[in-house]
Amino acid sequence: MRPSLAELLAGIHRTILSNSMPIVQKSGEMESLWEIATSTRLLAFIETRWKDEFGRLARENLAMVNILGDAVPALKALDHPAAGELAQLLERPGGEINALPPIETLEQRNLDLKEGLDRFIRLHAEMPGGGTPALQAVRARIREFLKEITQRDFPAAQKVILL
């Protein structure tokens, strides 16, 4: 049976730690030692993230679709041209979860939706007085969403930062 991606990553991580790291430690080459240590931390981060990558992307995409879904009518109420752009983004096929799309489809959808959030943030910043209460509510939801994804990744990122 073939190993899973998580098993492959763990095997690479173990090999670096058990085979490469001792050789570099004996050499006394501090720059190489630092590079290997950093690489093992990055692998640990990838191992942690990969276990839930599909679910993470699916949850993020759903949250962004919901946020942008509220932004579109609020922008339409102002006859803002971005309403049409964001509505078109939401209409694009993006790996509906019931179809079990490849992770690449979810990743691309995630990037597209993040561009949509970025577009909204920039245009909202240009509106006098922060726009309507509905637009301010969408911006608050974006702040909460960004805070959630940052907090979610923080423990895994610390494995990379703290050697």
Whether 40 maps to a domain, the answer reads: yes
Give the domain range for residue 44. Answer: 5-51
Please tell me the total count of domains within the chain.
Answer: 2
Q: Output Rg (C-alpha) for the chain, integer angstroms.
A: 21
**Residue 61 shares a structural domain with residue 84:** yes
pTM of the prediction?
Answer: 0.63
Q: Write down the pLDDT at residue 11.
A: 86
**Residue 39 shares a structural domain with residue 98:** no
Whether 162 maps to a domain, the answer reads: no
**Residue 29 shares a structural domain with residue 100:** no
Whether 163 maps to a domain, the answer reads: no
> How many whole angstroms separate alpha carbon 159 and alpha carbon 140?
30
Average pLDDT over residues 79-101: 81
Tokens linked to 21: 């790291």
Residue, of 114 and 4, whose pLDDT is higher: 114
**Residue 89 shares a structural domain with residue 127:** yes
Helices (H) and strands (E) in the chain, counts: 7, 0
